[in-house]
Chain A
Amino acid sequence: DGGITQSPKYLFRKEGQNVTLSCEQNLNHDAMYWYRQDPGQGLRLIYYSQIVNDFQKGDIAEGYSVSREKKESFPLTVTSAQKNPTAFYLCASSGGGTDTQYFGPGTRLTVL
């Protein structure tokens, strides 16, 4: 049963703490992406990776970091430098000869 998983679904953190969001896929996709969505707004690209051990900044990378040590995994760390971290975070992947991106269920992060 192939797909993309994100955990946890809801996450609460205190201001000033770093937090890491998990994203795993078993679709054998080469490319993975992280987006942020704020209420009433579209998706904004944070980071993306087209191949293992390589990643590029998206439109709003400041205050975030990622790693891509395995093809299946693309964790996102929200650092204390991110000014407004409360948002809905979505991970996606693409591959298999198409550019269609498929999304995980998302993690809703609330910083108190």
Chain B
Amino acid sequence: GQNIDQPTEMTATEGAIVQINCTYQTSGFNGLFWYQQHAGEAPTFLSYNVLDGLEEKGRFSSFLSRSKGYSYLLLKELQMKDSASYLCAVPPGTASKLTFGTGTRLQVTL
């Protein structure tokens, strides 16, 4: 089975850097996804990591360590609009399905 752990809530200041961690246990591994979800809205795709290392995409970066079952999402130069939930998700053996973590709710303050 799959088990995904993320912190429930985080708070950070506008302009700062925040790291949102995700640990997972899966029977097979086919990559790890990060999604952003604003309150009341649908999740939007942020990143997909299948190999170890850091992938940068603008202000957002995502890191994966397969040997440690660990990933993080790094958000730089935080803006108020970054206040949202960030969902970590992994496919089980059948790649087309996703198992989601409960998400980390990030609040950006002035």
Which residues of A are interface residues toward B (Cβ below 8 A)?
31, 33, 35, 40-45, 48, 50, 58, 90, 94, 98-106
Residue pair B42, A94 in contact (C-beta under 8 Å): no
Our pick among B95, B97, B100 for the contact of A42 (Cβ within 8 Å) is: B100
CB distance from B33 to the nearest CB of A (A): 7
10 nearest A-B residue pairs (beta carbon): A103-B42, A42-B102, A42-B100, A43-B100, A31-B96, A99-B95, A106-B42, A103-B43, A105-B42, A100-B45
Secondary structure at the B interface, as helix, strand, loop or mixed, is loop
**Provided the pairs A43-B43, A48-B96, A106-B42 are in contact, do residues A99 and B102 lie with their beta carbons within 8 angstroms?**
no
Which interface class (under 10, 10 to 19, 20 to 34, 35 or more) fits B?
Answer: 20 to 34
Our pick among A45, A50, A98, A104 for the contact of B98 (Cβ within 8 Å) is: A45
Residues of B within 8 A of A98 (CB): 48
**Provided the pairs A42-B101, A45-B98 are in contact, do residues A102 and B31 lie with their beta carbons within 8 angstroms?**
no
Answer yes or no: B73 CB below 8 A from chain A CBs.
no
**Provided the pairs A42-B87, A45-B97 are in contact, do residues A103 and B48 lie with their beta carbons within 8 angstroms?**
no
Q: Quick one: closest A residue to B48, CB to CB?
A: A100
Residue pair B100, A90 in contact (C-beta under 8 Å): no
Contacts A33-B98, A105-B41 aside, 7 further interface pairs with beta carbons under 8 A come to A31-B96, A35-B100, A42-B100, A48-B97, A90-B42, A100-B33, A101-B33
**Provided the pairs A48-B96, A50-B96, A94-B96 are in contact, do residues A103 and B102 lie with their beta carbons within 8 angstroms?**
no
CB distance from A46 to the nearest CB of B (A): 12
